[in-house]
Structure 1
Amino acid sequence: MYIPPAFRDDDIESIRATIRSARLASLVTATSEGPVATPLPLFLDESEGEHGVLYGHVAKANPHWQLAPIGHALAIFGGPEAYVTPSWYATKQETGKVVPTWNYVAVHAYGPVEFFQEPERLLDAVTRLTNRHEGARAKPWAVSDAPADFIAAQLRGIVGVRIPVVRFEGKRKMSQNRPEADRVGVAQGLSASDNPHDREVAPLIPIPA
């Protein structure tokens, strides 16, 4: 990922927070047939290995897991993002020398990918993934709520994904390269937007308190 110095995010807690908040990731591997990508939810077990281990699963009918990967896999996680109009820049009034851009948060995680089919490992992975996304609900659904034979049959239709992370790349592009007056204008413009995604980005713009 191209990361200018102003936008580099090397803070491991920030990176982990982006991964935790991402509802969907993209798993990308290079193969002899070309690059292959699958959208899927992943969770990071921070207690395993030096950088943590990513877990998820794909459908057994998905050919992705049958194509031998060349080199490390790439897992892509997206965070808050918003379009930035030049109209919000104070510089527009001063010189007119401005163009649109996009602000966003992204994390790339790299590591060797393992695909597994052992029932007990699959059950553990889907249970932990389910608990992560159900935990905040008033009445969380649990894997154990379904009949055991039904769950066993469902597990036969998936393949687990395990990626021990060897390297993270974090990027937080939030107008850090703009003058303070421009950043204030961007934060104000995003805050006033009707789009909830824009309003989520607004407080991430670095401006003086």
Structure 2
Amino acid sequence: MYPAKHFQSRDQDLDLLFCVISQDPLATLVFIDTEQMPHISHIPCHFAVNNDVIVAHVSNDHPLAAKLNAASTSNDGVDISLIFHGESGYVSPNFVPIDEREGQMVPSWNYIKVHVTGCATAITAPADKYQQMALTSAHFEQYQAQPWTLDSASSTAINHMLKAITVFSVSIVGLEGRFKLSQNKSANMRSHIAEQLSLQGKKLLAQQMRSV
């Protein structure tokens, strides 16, 4: 089994999975393009009104746009994968006391990743595209001191933008986490590693180590 079972997410970890997606929304997108070749790129995503659907958009020049538009004519979707990258950090054997180093003899790397598999479908109606981009802007602007909104730009600029992008939703089929957080080490060793990571500025990674 790979990865080892103690590095795989459990049903009770769903809140952490959702948190990683929300806090680190720039996903690695993977799908098979129209040339039957694997395509990899990176796009920001966010949840729709619930945690069952993810929404994003790409330029019309993106390979996914062509595949989505072709699929929409036959009311089909496109199978895609999204990988969300949480905190990660290098783990040195020197992070643990010498008398416990037998359990951490070689360097390692701790990380949190979330894998989403789903079916993407294009949002094509102009009014729906506008509404979705308004929601997307509001989502990513929510922590700005002076949030930007679609109505801040001219209608000409917004119409040009909407014509240049393909907006789509992803119905989530599979959701799983990969949490490599020293779960196979003793509690005392994990505490030492978490402390050292925290001292190196990896405070969120250290906090997540202590929570799983």
Give the TM-score of the pair, scaled to structure 1: 0.85
Decide whether aligned partners of structure 1 residues 131 and 3 sit closer, same or farther in structure 2, where only a CA change above 3 A counts. farther
Structure number with the higher helix fraction is 2
Corresponding residue number in structure 2 for 1:25: 27
Is 84-93 or 29-38 further displaced after alignment? 84-93
Structure 1 counterpart of 2:48, which letter?
D
Separation in 2, partners of 1:94, 1:164: 45
Matches within 5 A, 1:147-166: 147-166=154-173
Asked if 2 retains the 8 angstrom alpha-carbon contact of 1:92 and 1:98, the reply is: no
Determine if the alignment matches structure 1 residue 132 to structure 2 residue 139.
Answer: yes
Separation in 1, partners of 2:181, 2:104: 19
Corresponding residue number in structure 1 for 2:6: 6
- Give the 3-state SS of the residue equivalent to 1:178 in structure 2: coil
Structure 2 counterpart of 1:142, which letter?
T
- Give the 3-state SS of the residue equivalent to 1:61 in structure 2: coil
User: Out of 199, 203, 206, which is 2:203 matched to?
Assistant: 199
How far did 1:179 drift? Answer: 1.6
Separation in 1, partners of 2:25, 2:16: 16
Structure 2 counterpart of 1:45, which letter?
A
Decide whether aligned partners of structure 1 residues 2 and 140 sit closer, same or farther in structure 2, where only a CA change above 3 A counts. farther
Gaps (5+ residues) in structure 1?
none
Corresponding residue number in structure 2 for 1:190: 197
Determine if the alignment matches structure 1 residue 42 to structure 2 residue 45.
Answer: yes
Separation in 2, partners of 1:57, 1:110: 17
Write out per-residue CA displacement over residues 76-122 of structure 1, whole angstroms, 9 at most, x where no aligned residue. 11111111111112367553861111111111111112133322222
Decide whether aligned partners of structure 1 residues 134 and 121 sit closer, same or farther in structure 2, where only a CA change above 3 A counts. same
- Give the 3-state SS of the residue equivalent to 1:37 in structure 2: strand
Decide whether aligned partners of structure 1 residues 83 and 145 sit closer, same or farther in structure 2, where only a CA change above 3 A counts. same
Separation in 2, partners of 1:54, 1:190: 32
Runs of 4+ in 1 over 4 A off after TM superposition: 68-71, 91-94
How far did 1:157 drift? Answer: 0.5
Corresponding residue number in structure 1 for 2:93: 86
Structure 1 counterpart of 2:43, which letter?
L
Asked if 1 retains the 8 angstrom alpha-carbon contact of 2:78 and 2:120, the reply is: no
Gaps (5+ residues) in structure 2?
72-76
Identity of aligned residues (%): 26
Write out per-residue CA displacement over residues 16-74 of structure 1, whole angstroms, 9 at most, x where no aligned residue. 11111113112211244311122111111253xxx611111000112232247897210
Separation in 2, partners of 1:192, 1:19: 25
